[in-house]
Amino acid sequence: MNTHLKIVTFGGGSSYTPELVEGLIKRYDSFPCTQFWLVDIEEGKEKLEIITELAKRQFKKAGLPVQVHSTLDRREALKDADFVTTQLRVGGLEARALDEAIPAKHGVIGQETNGPGGLFKALRTIPVIMDIIKDCEELCPEAWIINFTNPAGIVTQAIHEYTSWKRFIGVCNLPYGMHVEAARLLNADVSRIRIDMAGLNHLVFGINAYLDGNNMTKDLLKLYASTSGLGMKNIVDIPWSQAFLDSLGYIPCSYLRYYYQKDEMLKAQEEQMKTNTTRAEVVMRLEKDLFEQYKDQNLAIKPKELELRGGAYYSDAACNLMDSIANDKKDIQVVNTPNRGALQGIDPHDVIEVSSLITKDGPTPLTMPILKPGALGIIQQMKAFEKQSALAAVSGQYQDAYLAMVMNPLVQSEQKATLILNEMLEAHKRYLPQFNRREK
């Protein structure tokens, strides 16, 4: 293994970066990052400088000889990188607020990665990631790109479908969080838990759950129905009914509430809009508080408040993956990667989120049982939407984006699709150059 690893992080000024640094510190013995480059854009310069100084203090407190660099010139950072991580938010939290507010005005759930919001985050993000890949092809052709940018599934689909870059893996903290939840419910250490997972990013199912090799799926389904406070920090906690869980037979991820509890989730969002407590507004306030803490020259650890963000466990998901690739660990992790026949009913070339064996050559998806219709049906429907969204991001054609909008299960209305699409195209015009010369 390379004992002098160079890691480049795009979106380096993100409030999540201290969590990534913590993960690198914890794994330094097996995964010695000696160069850590943080890259951002001009608008993020101030936050980048604050995060860079905090990262230096974190590594210094840990007594590790890690050189921390920051730059607005991505080509300077990329040369000979071993791993490139992406945690972008094109348009910032202001764009997220629009993604939530505009659909909600028309009686549709507005959310960062689901529905119209997820579509537009993909439209803004995919061209930027593709530009980064062009530089990677020239400057670090052997690097692994670990993408944490949402919507991670659509982004990963687009890269594998429309570029020749193969060393691209989508990562989400949600599957790891589901393992932590299961461990808590079963009163066990997370190291004793294994959940076979399959589906799509933010649409993944726990197929079978094991404690010390014993199948505990039915026990967990009972515990899930009687326990609140589970799931992601950014999703309203509406309990699942025992009847639904028993019928489904799988452990649903938190985001499936947007599809299986659509009316209740829309009502919850309408209440948030009235009280200025939408997720974007909450995160804006939290970010402001976090960056005030980050400025403190005496702070040299990740603040506890960062775990209130939806990306808790990010460092474990991202750093475990990089560590396993670098050391050819052959352990099992849940990642977004081409299906390769692991999940029947989905094209082998299409990207799924699935338990995979992680080696120096990347992920090998584990073969999953044939899924019941209650899970497979929505996976197939959403995969079609993801592919249409990726096409729209690449083509910049109005009709491609329009069809994606109509297809989405949270919209499924020609009239609403037209209204929402036109309003969001105008609102996000600055970040959608591929649509600027569109013809309706």
Which residues are part of the catalytic machinery? 255
Distance CA 387, CA 389 (A): 5
User: Phi/psi class of residue 159: alpha, beta or left (left: φ > 0; alpha: ψ in -120 to 50)?
Assistant: alpha
Strands 5-10 and 67-71, by their bridges, are unpaired
Residue with tokens 């080509």: 75
Peptide bond into 151 cis (omega under 30): yes
Query: Which residue is it, tokens 């505009």?
Result: 102
CA atoms in the 13 A half-sphere facing the CB of 399:
2
**The three-state (H, E, C) secondary structure of 292-328, written as one string:** HHHCCCCCCCCCHHHHHCCCCCHHHHHHHHHHHHHHC
Closest CA relative to residue 284, chosen from 40, 101, 435: 101
Q: Answer positive or negative: Cα dihedral of 188, 316, 322, 22.
A: negative
> Does residue 277 contact residue 196 with C-beta atoms inside 8 Å?
no
Query: Distance (Å, rounded) from C-alpha 268 to C-alpha 375?
Result: 24
